[in-house]
Structure 1
């Protein structure tokens, strides 16, 4: 997928013009290999691209600066770089954060920028935003854009998640997935940016309500 690698390289070189192109390309290829692992169904390059689209909308709306958008895209590459459906809660995010501390310096990313990426990756474990910066709010919203996707895409996403957790019995999956979705749709809303709240909140709530109804039927 040369387009993804081209974007990766452009972002890294924009953040550090002195980065070695060969090192940047090597790290990008390593990450792409992770994103194309055969066991992935939802957490694949499609999710990565959809995050990029969402981040573009947020940038166009003024929620992010161009440099913040570049860091957010780098964080998107890392946030599900480690993905094992059988891992304990939070383990994938922790492993992905550790991976970021290893590979991003190899790609020439500055220590301060690497720390920002690591914090964004760790934040996805519980979808909690510790400081509420514009970058954190936008990254949170882009990661959860899928909840507001058009009906057909959202329903496809639900099926993909179930495929990733095919080894989990129906009742266990129903209870766990219901708890996750209800936790995301709280009284304060799903999205944290002004753009996300205005454009994505209502369709996301409709989608999640439909999925919760489907899950209830498995009882």
Structure 2
């Protein structure tokens, strides 16, 4: 039931985003079903429709910082549409996917160009000081870092399942490297709201996960 309700909520969101473009209803439905299929594959445990829902909700909260809200919302829909934990080009393939699908729906070239650029910026999770749309998308994407301890633990477990092909020792080393890179930044978040209210919780969660990984480390 939860999945059905989530799908209905997301479909309504998808329709609202497309509404200004006068997209054919049948084409809009078909595109939505393609997205649902992509985000519902069996190898996904975190990068699912639930993640897209959370990102879109955060964008709604942060929308006051955007220049092109619609492009940010489209980017949220497509930023993980191609997700293979054994690949290095997911962002490029997701941007290409967005380009093809949005073009087929008749979305303007300017909007699509902004969307693809936003998606590509999720690779390194870095945004220029004046790229407010990327800042909002990245903050929404990484909002999970500042989640409650229960939700963060669920996130950690789901990410590990997506990398279940990696040995425990290798995963711990790689995951710690990723987390430590975020901690070394002067700031994880970009928008004033997230910097003030989410940054401390994010750093605390990341530090706790690193401690957990250290305690779990085993030598092969």
- Normalised by the length of structure 2, the TM-score is 0.91
Q: Which runs of 5+ in 2 are unaligned?
A: 1-6
Q: 1:95 to 1:131 in 2, by over 3 A?
A: farther
1:51 to 43, 52, 55: 55
Which deviations, in whole Å up to 9, do the C-alpha atoms of 1:24-79 show, x marking residues without a partner?
A: 221111111101111100000111111012112112xx2236xx332212111100
Which deviations, in whole Å up to 9, do the C-alpha atoms of 1:93-121 show, x marking residues without a partner?
A: 11101111110111221110001110111
Aligned to 2:115: 117
Distance, in Å, in 1 between the alignment partners of 2:53 and 2:110 is 25
Higher relative contact order (CA 8 A, sep 6+): 1
Q: Which runs of 5+ in 1 are unaligned?
A: none
Preserved CA contact (<8 Å) 1:19 1:108: yes
2:182 to 181, 184, 188: 184
- Normalised by the length of structure 1, the TM-score is 0.92
Distance, in Å, in 2 between the alignment partners of 1:189 and 1:100 is 29
Give the RMSD, CA atoms, in angstroms: 1.4
Q: Does 1:73 align with 2:47?
A: no
Preserved CA contact (<8 Å) 1:191 1:201: yes
Matches within 5 A, 1:29-108: 29-59=33-63, 62-64=64-66, 68-87=68-87, 89=88, 91-108=89-106
Which deviations, in whole Å up to 9, do the C-alpha atoms of 1:157-204 show, x marking residues without a partner?
A: 000000110110011111111111111223411001111101110000
4+ long deviations beyond 6 Å? none
Distance, in Å, in 2 between the alignment partners of 1:183 and 1:109 is 36
Q: Does 1:165 align with 2:167?
A: no
Q: Bigger shift: 20-29 or 75-84?
A: 20-29
Distance, in Å, in 2 between the alignment partners of 1:189 and 1:182 is 12
